[in-house]
Homo-oligomer: A and B are copies of this chain.
């Protein structure tokens, strides 16, 4: 008799993680590989996914032939439309079955153990997502240019803008503004040159400085954190308005943002039950239970 196994993949722009579990959910092995954001191309994404999967298989002390009776679930960043999803599902793979969705979907499945619920991710970017009776609803998360409010990159960019305004006397003096302008050798021109190639992650790197200066009472920094908290509140309330009563906030920036959130949204916030890999495994399990070899 063949023992069935389940593989979860959490593929993002920074790295790809894999977790292999048995039918009881016992973790057999985990693995990690490079970025598997689908915007990098399906070949690249699939290559890193398989690397991470093989690493998990190795750690479990199992042979690659295990995959012929392993049901896989991929939660992938950069999967905005059905086109990429179909190309992934039709890509030759070694698994018994394959289910694919966005990383937000698997994170939400993991956070609420498959029940109705919502998440808001506050990382370098931001994004809200709700699952209601199995259906996903997206809120925000349209990227740094137009969206990603209350994210680390959003706070960092507004801090650089405000630092320049303070430097020019448009806003009052501020220790945060002085810190930031010192990084640019107190030259607005240097800030402008830096901004020409700055990526969201570069702006995100400035956010901890804002948090720290806000904690020590700088008015500009406090104001930026209060604005971020207001935007975060709007995002959380918009996810709730999709019809979910419980929302888990995820992402590296949330721990900084959390103390600034208003009490009125406390009743909505819960701790995540599981991580995105748990969600990806749950998706694989559901697909297998429904008898879909490719979902």
By a beta-carbon cutoff of 8 Å, the part of chain A in contact with chain B is 80-81, 128, 138-140, 142-143, 145-147, 149, 160-161, 164-165, 168-171, 188-189, 191-192, 195-196, 234-235, 238, 241-242
Bound form: Cα–Cα A143–B189 in Å: 10
A-B contact pairs, 25 of them (CB 8 A): A80-B189, A81-B189, A139-B168, A139-B170, A140-B164, A142-B164, A142-B188, A142-B191, A142-B192, A143-B192, A143-B195, A145-B195, A146-B161, A146-B191, A146-B192, A146-B195, A147-B164, A147-B165, A149-B165, A149-B170, A168-B238, A169-B238, A169-B241, A170-B235, A170-B238
**Which of A142, A149, A191, A192 gathers the greatest number of chain B CB atoms within 10 Å?**
A142
**Which of A145, A170, A234, A241 gathers the greatest number of chain B CB atoms within 10 Å?**
A170
A128 to chain B, nearest CB (A): 8
Bound form: Cα–Cα A140–B166 in Å: 10
* Closest residue of B by beta carbon distance from A231: B170
